[in-house]
Each structure stands twice: as structure tokens, then as C-alpha cells.
Amino acid sequence: MATTEKISPGMQQYLDIKKSYPDAFLLFRMGDFYELFYEDAVKAAQILELTLTSRNKNSDKPIPMAGVPYHSIQQYIDTLVDLGHKVAIAEQMEDPKTAVGVVKRDVVQVITPGTAVDALNNGKENNFLVAIETDESAYALSYLDLATGEFFVTSLSDFETVTDEISSLKAREVVMGYEPSEVELQILENQLNVLVSRETIGFDNADLIDYGLSALEISVTSKLLNYIMTTQKRQLTHLQPVKHYEIKDFLLMDAASKKSLDLISNARTGKKMGSLYWLLDETKTAMGTRMLRTWIDRPLVSESAIQKRQAIIQTFLDHFFERSDLTETLKGVYDIERLAARVSFGKANPKDLLQLAQTLSNVPAIKAVLTDMQSDVLFSVIGQLDEIPELFELIRNAIDENAPAIIMDGNIIKSGFNATLDDYRVIMRDGTSWIAELETKERATSGISNLKIDYNKKDGYYFHITNSNLSQVPEHFFRKATLKNSERYGTEALAKLESQMLDARENSANLEYELFLQVREQTEKFITRIQKLAKVIAGVDVLQSLAVVAENNHYIKPDIIKNGQEIHIKNGRHAVVEKVMGAQEYVPNSIDFDEKTMIQLITGPNMSGKSTYMRELALTVVMAQLGSYIPADSVLLPIFDAIFTRIGAADDLISGQSTFMVEMMEANHAIRRATKNSLILFDELGRGTATYDGIALAQAIVEYIHENVGAKTLFATHYHELVALETVLEHLTNVHVATLEENGEVTFLHKIETGPADKSYGIHVAKIAGLPSDLLERASVILSELEDGTVDMKVPPVIPVQSSQSESQQLDLFGESSELAEKIRAIDIMNLTPMAAMNELFELKKLV
């Protein structure tokens, strides 16, 4: 970047600052623009579609330059950050008018994908920044959301679990507290697609770090804090003390399982619609929406905690009218969790404080509605609804209800809040009438009938007197300006009024600004209470949402037994599929595991509903353990500690892994980590390799789970040879998807029944897919030969090819109809218009 040519002091200043931020776009404030130079300018011009110009155009080495207006900078920052880049903001630190030499500039903030607060998302999703540390025997992972102040840390055994956590958190940036290996870096950057940053120095803050943590956890949290403080360059009072958590405190699901179950987004489209999150989201607040995502992502394993949520949902269901009032009240609740962050950042404007006050004004109504329900399970919730009356009164008394969002334009502070401000306003309000009175007085004294007072920025207030009246100008008037046909005069009285009015206007604006900053600083003292209130309101919102979904879809409360060994789901439905299809079309299925049953081996044709049946069980478990009601007639479940899935086939193209390799890696992940309290779902395992290899591996995996793991397992397979395992494995039972076969036509009933399937029905599936009829007939002939055993499978099964019926029909057709042949030969194809071709075809069809 550096050049041997002599450069200006301003450019040298840019280069000196840029050295400290080599991995960020440096936006360098120069007057009304933020400028980019050198490589930053070239790259930004392409990304942001800016005009690329240059400084020192006449030099042998002109400097590339691109700029954006200061008033529209945020949209450009958002675009760069959203694409995974860092942006350093260098501001002018002194007034250019009074600066001696080069204006002092310094970076005031570095915005990164993990620290973006004003990013493009709508506030309904967390933006977590993750940090990782290791001592080579274990890992520590810490994460926080700068917009909400949430701050967590945990210890993990291996890097695979670390990557699962990063995926679950949907982090966009990871801060490495150590030098990662090439393999780790490749996984983070290429597979997880996160920005990798470095931080080797810790930040010591006893208020934020709980010293009950391990040394490794303290190290990772302190490095994450230091990265935040270094990039944001301000005290962040809204950051909450770090909370320790264990992944075993929640239902464990790896990233692949969450994706295959469509928990947060639809795996096929990547959209919210078609996911469990979409189904359950009837929340009314942004805080509730974020909490719902968290609950879905981290279902509970505590029986008492699950039952507490169920009890509140039942209370809401029992009080329809009160719940309707609660829903309406929640609509007036703003995102006070993020408002607290804006206060801490010094970015809160009058509108933000008014929204905070509006939310606080709704808290008594929320408490009243919950109290009217007269339920013991709500007492603790009601007690935590802090109305924060001191803050509400402060904002109500200080901020005008019609205050603008911009804090420099005045009209922010209410009358009566500050006596001095009120005096200024009296002067500004009454000054106009004082001017009018002075104008009337001087007109009468001078005898000039058309004498009037005007105003402009250059001359201020003045008496406008035409040349024809100059002889009547009073002695106490003094000339301010001369025009072609008139003169402008002033008086001491007018000058005094002008001074009072202009001073009042300027002083009023400055005082309002100072008063607003004081109110904002006082609001900052309540941040901890605001954050606690936000969590309580969010929890109430999520529970009312689950109640609404349960009522609208006729869900029932599941019975959950901590150490149970049985699964009984009567007429269960896959909640999301049912919602998409409609309840009238969906075929329910019961799922039963008695104490002795460990594995269900599922056989049946493709497209018949095996995968839906498996997902139904997994989704039922997730819904039950997050506290939701369930689509079924009745449900009895144990509490699972983990769900492992292998459903669907997808090559991992980025890392160059085949479908079969992915299958085996996920199978290995499941059988090594699962316990007897886990749930395993394997769909068509082994299909990615040769038949005998696939059968051998599938059987070995089933046997291993049966003998060594003991987890409840659904194992769907197209290898019918495996159904014989029921006779040798005590805890395995066969089930299959029922079919109806009449007159050679097969109907899949989508119902699971006991026993093995008798056929594959693969050709019937191909028929449904629309393959040509002659191809299907040919497949049936080959299948018959194979089933009869007339084909030697040691060599490729080559069955004689027969002449097709269509070919013989064509020969017979032309043999019998010389008239048709002559007609076709007579057609002049090269000179045929489209319309004429249609007519010819019509005539030929009639002839046939």
C-alpha cells in the first residue's frame, strides 16, 4: 500500500491508522464524506457499486479513492458487514474550522459480523459472537449478543462439539483465543462459513466474569470481552454477567439433526415457513420471538421445568378471555432488551425512550390480566414483572410525546420539566408578538404607513423602508444595508429583541440536548432491571404463543416420565406436515415402544411415509421437551437426553465427502455418543454403497445399538433381508408401511403396522414418478426373471430385448395405408408455415 512518492499529511494519517486495521475496510471521515483509499477503495467500489476515482491523478501512481456521503453511511456499513467484512469508522476528532494543521482523526468503532447492532436483521434473531479457547485437552466456548447483552460460556470435550454449538448458534464470526490448526480453520471458514478473528489478550472485569468458572472458561470469556472492548471502544453497561451452562442441561441435537428435522428453518428452502419455528410462532413481541427460537433450539431435560411450562400453558388455555386481553396488551410491548443496548451504546433517541415508557406503562395491565387468572403457577411470574415506576415517571415527565427521533432538532423535552428551558420557550413564543408590537409602535411614531419588520439570515431583523419614505426615518434608526429601491434599518430595541430570540433559540436547543443526555444517563442506571423484565415478558409471550397454537390445532398435553422406558403416541401427527397439508388430508400414526422394545425396524416402499413417521417421533419429543402441547390423541414419553438422526442423503461437496461417507460419519457420531436415554433415527442407512456392503453394515449397526447402546431407535431400511433380525434380537420388532393392492394398482396407506413388508413396490413408485410405461413394463419383466432365480447373479443380468409393440404398430400402419404414406410424402416441410403444419396434422389425424 505504501508508496515511495511524497504523500500529503492527510494521506499519511490514513496510512498510519490503516496499519492498525489491516483486515477491515477503513471509512475515513473527510468533511461530508467517508472516503476509502487504495485496495479498500477498489474492493468497496465493486461491492457497493461506487464510482472509483483517484487522488493525485497527475502522479505516476495515483491513489484509488471512493467515497460515500456521511448521512447515508449506515446502509453501506450494513451491506459490507452482511457480506462478512469488518468496517473501521475513523471520525474527525476536532472541528476542522479550528484545527491547526491536519484534522485529528481516530477510529471510534469497528463493526464486524458478530458485533453488528444496527445490522439488516429485524431484531427477531440473535446475532451471537463466539469465542473459542483450548488447552489441548478440552475446549471452552463463550458467546454473547451485543444487541441484547446476553453472555454465556461452557466447556466442551472436542472440536466436533464446538462446531455443533457454532452451527446451532448460527454465529457469523468466531474469535480464536489460540492459533487454530489448518483443519480447524478450514472447517470454520469453508464449512461453517464464519469470519475468523484473533484475540490473544484477556480483559479483566470482575463484574462480568464469575470466578466460579474454570481457568479455561475465564480465559475464553476474558478474550471475548477484550475483543468487544477493543472493537467497540466504549463501556458497555448492558453486558450481563456471563452465565455458565452445560450442553447436557438441554436436549442434545447436532447441527445435522436440527437441519433434517426442520426445527428453525426448512432444510430444502432455508426459509422459516415449513419449520417448527414457523408453526409455533404466535408471539407478539420481538423478545418473545427470539426466546421461542432458543426454546426450540434447546429443549429441556428437567421434568419439573417442562411441567411448569405445561401448567402455565394449561392456565392460558383455561382462561380464553383473559388470554385474549393478554395478547392485546403484549402488542404494545417494544423490544426493550435491544432498547437497553441502545441506551448503553449512547444511541438511544427520544423515540426509543418513549417506546420504553410505553412498554413500562403496559406492565401493570399484564400483571392485572395474569392476576385475574388466579393460578398458583403464575405467582412467581407476576412477582417478577417489575414496573420500574421511577424510570417510567422520569421519561413521562421529561420527553414530549411528539418528540422527533433526531436529538439535535429540539422539541424533545416537555414544558415544565426545566424552568430555564421554559423561559427560553416563552421568549421564542412571545418574541413574534413583541416584534409585531414594536413594528406598530414605530409605524405610528414615524408616520410611515407601510413600515414593516423583515428578517433574513444575513441582516437579521430590520425595518424595511422604501426610498420615497427616507425623509421620515427617525433619528434612532441606524442603517444596516442599502438596496436599489430601499434601505434596511435597525434600532437598539429591535437588536435587543433579536438577540434575545436568537439566543433563546440556540440556548434552548443546546439545553434540550443536554437535558436529553441526562435523562438517557439516568435511564442507563435501570438497564439490569429492564433486561430482567424483558426476559419475563418474553417468557409470557412464548407461553401464550404455545397456548394459541395448541388451541387452534387441537393439541394435547403429553405425559412425561423422567426415567420412563415406554413410548406411546396414539394417532400422532407430524405437526408441520399436518399444518401444510391440512388436518383432513393427514393420516395419523401411532407409535408404541413397550419396556422391552428398543429398536423398530421399518420396511416399506419409498414415498410411503417412513421418513415422516420417524420425524413425527423426533418432532414430538422436541415439542414435548420444550414444553409445547402435541398433535395426537394421547402421548406418553420418557425424557430423552439426545436425538441423533440420519435422514435424507446429501453429499458434503465443500469438504469433498460422498453421501456414503457422510452417512458413516453421522452413524459413528450417533452410536458413539448415544446413551440408553437417547433417540436414534436412521433412514436407509447403507444405501450409498454396494448392496452386500450396505446390508452388512446396516445389520452390524443395528446389532451394535442393540447390544452396546440401548437407545430407542427407529431404523428404516430397504434391505428386506434385515427383517430376520427380529428372531435373534430380543429388543427389536418389525413394523412396515401398509399398502393396498387391487387389480395391479398399489395405494400407499401411510399407516404403520406391525410385521415386515412383503414387497418393495419400487416399480410402483417409479410409475408414480411418471416414468414411461414401456420402461416400466420392461422393468417388470426383469424383476420377474430375478425373482424366479433364472438369472445368474454372478454375471450381469442381461435379459433378451424384445421388439416393442409401438414399432410393430408403425410398420403395420404404413403397410396397410398407402394413402397415408402418400399424404406424408407429399408434404413440403421446407415451405410449410406453422398454421399450414397444424392443418396438415389435423388432416393426417382424421385419415388415421
State the pLDDT confidence band at 520, using cuts at 50, 70 and 90: very high
Q: Which residue has the higher pLDDT, 582 or 99?
A: 99
Residue 10 pLDDT > 50: yes
Q: What is the pLDDT of residue 813?
A: 46
**Is residue 366 within 8 Å of residue 329, measured between CB atoms?**
yes
E runs forming strands in 523-646: 559-561, 567-572, 589-593, 599-603, 634-638, 642-646
Q: Does domain 128-249 have CATH number 3.30.420.110?
A: yes
Given this model, what pLDDT does residue 656 score?
A: 44
Considering the four listed CATH numbers 3.40.50.1980, 3.10.180.10, 3.40.1170.10, 3.40.47.10, the one that applies to the domain covering 9-111 is 3.40.1170.10
When the candidates are 1.10.1420.10, 1.10.1060.10, 1.10.260.40, 2.40.70.10, the CATH number that belongs to 419-520 is 1.10.1420.10
Residue 751's pLDDT is 82
Lowest mean pLDDT among 142-151, 215-224, 574-583, 820-829: 820-829
pLDDT at 803: 47
- Tell me the C-alpha distance between 408 and 199, whole Å: 38
Neighbour-count burial of 420, counting CB atoms closer than 10 A to its CB (0-12 exposed, 13-18 middle, 19+ buried): exposed
Q: Flag the least confident range among 12-16, 162-166, 199-203.
A: 199-203
Find the length of the chain. Answer: 848
Q: Is 485 annotated as a binding residue?
A: no
Phi-psi region of 683 (alpha: psi -120 to 50; beta: other; left: phi over 0): beta
* Span of 196-205, 289-298, 505-514, 602-611 with lowest mean pLDDT: 602-611
Question: Distance (Å, rounded) from C-alpha 220 to C-alpha 174?
Answer: 12
Indicate where the chain has its CATH 3.40.50.300 domain(s). 559-759
DSSP states along 63-113: EEEEEEEGGGHHHHHHHHHHTT-EEEEEEE-S-TTT-SSSPPEEEEEEE-T
- Predicted confidence band at 696 (pLDDT cuts at 50, 70, 90)? confident
Percent of the chain scoring above 90 in pLDDT: 57
Span(s) in the chain for CATH 3.40.1170.10: 9-111
Q: Provide the grid cell at 510.
A: 443546546
Q: Give 798-802 contacts, CB < 8 A, sequence gap 24+.
A: none
736: Cβ–Cβ under 8 A, 6 or more apart, which residues?
602, 603, 604, 752, 753, 754, 755, 756, 757
Q: Which residue has the higher pLDDT, 686 or 389?
A: 389
d(CA 695, CA 168): 33
Q: What is the mean pLDDT of residues 293-311?
A: 96
589 known member of a binding site: no
Task: List b or e across 182-197, with b for residues whose CB sees 16 or more CB atoms inside 10 angstroms.
Answer: eebeebbeeebebbeb
Residue 823 has pLDDT above 90, yes or no: no
Q: Which pLDDT score, from 0 to 100, does residue 684 have?
A: 80
Kindly tell me if the per-residue pLDDT of 501 is higher than 90. no
Question: DSSP secondary structure string, 315-341?
Answer: HHHH-HHHHHHHHHHHTT---HHHHHH
Statement: residue 202 has pLDDT above 60: yes
Assess whether pLDDT exceeds 70 at residue 698: yes
- Res. 838: pLDDT tops 70: no
Listed range (134-138, 718-722, 761-765) with the worst mean pLDDT: 761-765
Model pLDDT for residues 720-761, shown as the tens digit of each residue: 888 889 999 999 999 988 776 666 565 666 788 888 876 666
Q: Which range has the worst mean pLDDT, 118-122, 676-680, 811-815? A: 811-815
What stretch(es) of the chain map to CATH 1.10.1420.10? 281-388+526-553, 419-520
pLDDT of residue 62: 87
- Residue 388 and residue 530: Cα distance in Å, rounded? 8
The pLDDT value given to residue 790: 56
Task: Tell whether the model's pLDDT for residue 829 goes beyond 70.
Answer: no
Task: Find where cell 464524506 sits.
Answer: 33
Q: Looking at per-residue confidence, does 284 or 670 come out higher? A: 284
Amino acid 655: pLDDT: 46
User: What is the pLDDT at residue 509?
Assistant: 86
pLDDT at 127: 93
Whether 237 contacts 522, CB under 8 Å: no
Task: Specify burial of residue 752 (Cβ count, 10 A radius: 0-12, 13-18, 19+).
Answer: buried
Residue limits of CATH 3.30.420.110 in the chain: 128-249
Give the model's pLDDT for residue 773. 77
Please, which contacts does 216-220 make with residues 24 or more away whose CB atoms are closer than 8 Å?
Answer: 216/133, 216/134, 216/135, 216/138, 216/139, 216/140, 216/155, 217/140, 217/142, 217/153, 217/154, 217/155, 217/244, 219/133, 219/140, 219/177, 220/131, 220/132, 220/133, 220/140, 220/141, 220/142, 220/153, 220/177
The CA radius of gyration of the chain, in Å to the nearest whole number, is: 38
Cβ neighbours around 205 below 10 Å, total:
15
Band (pLDDT 50/70/90 cuts) for residue 479 is: very high
Residue 604 labelled as part of a binding site: yes
CATH code for the domain defined by 559-759: 3.40.50.300
Strands 252-253 and 452-456 come out as unpaired
pLDDT, averaged across the chain = 86
pLDDT of residue 689: 65
pLDDT for 165 beyond 50: yes
Does the pLDDT value for residue 699 go beyond 60? yes
Give the whole-angstrom CA distance, residue 121 versus residue 99: 39
Which is nearest to 557 in space by CA: 645, 602, 623, 508? Answer: 623
Rounded to an integer, the average pLDDT of 572-591 is 86
Model confidence at 830, in pLDDT bands (50, 70, 90)? Answer: low
Determine the pLDDT at residue 357. Answer: 96
Taking residues 420-432, what's their average pLDDT? 83
Strand residues in 124-194 grouped as ranges (E):
128-134, 139-145, 151-156, 173-176
pLDDT at 506: 82
Q: Is 255 in contact with 164 (CB distance < 8 Å)?
A: yes
Q: What is the pLDDT of residue 654?
A: 39
Q: Which of 589, 597, 577, 666 lies closest to 638, judged by CA?
A: 597
Q: How far apart are CA 327 and CA 306, in angstroms?
A: 23
Round to whole Å and give the CA distance between 213 and 147.
24
Quick: pLDDT tens for 347-373. 899 999 999 999 999 999 999 999 999
Which residues have CB under 8 Å from 458's CB, separation 6+? Answer: none
Q: What's the angle, vertex CA 364, arms to CA 360 and CA 365, rounded to 5?
A: 105
**Topology of domain 281-388+526-553, CATH:** MutS, DNA mismatch repair protein; Chain A, domain 3 (1.10.1420)
pLDDT in tens, 548-575: 999 999 999 999 998 889 999 999 999 9
Q: Parallel, antiparallel, or unpaired: how do β-strands 86-92 and 63-69 relate?
A: unpaired
Query: Which helix H or strand E contains 838, and what residues bound it?
Result: helix 834-847
Q: What is the mean pLDDT of residues 606-625?
A: 89
Contacts of 579 (CB under 8 A, 6+ apart): 279, 553
Is 588 labelled as part of a ligand binding site?
Answer: no
At 532, the pLDDT band (50, 70, 90 cuts) reads: very high
Per the structure block, which three cell numbers stand in for 753?
403396522
- Residue 658: its pLDDT value, please? 60
Query: What percentage of the chain reaches a pLDDT higher than 70?
Result: 86
For residue range 747-758, list pLDDT tens digits in order.
666 788 888 876
The residue assigned the cell 414430538 is 620
The DSSP annotation for 771-836 comes to: --HHHHHHHHHHHHHHHHT-S-TTS---PPPPPPHHHHHHHHHHHH-HHHHHHHHT--GGG--HHH
Q: Is 609 annotated as a binding residue?
A: yes
pLDDT of 89-127, one tens digit each? Answer: 999 998 888 888 889 999 999 999 999 986 545 668 899
- DSSP lists the bridge partners of residue 198 as 176
Determine the Cα–Cα distance for residues 562 and 301; give it in Å rounded to an integer: 8
Q: Where are the alpha helices (DSSP H) in 108-154?
A: none
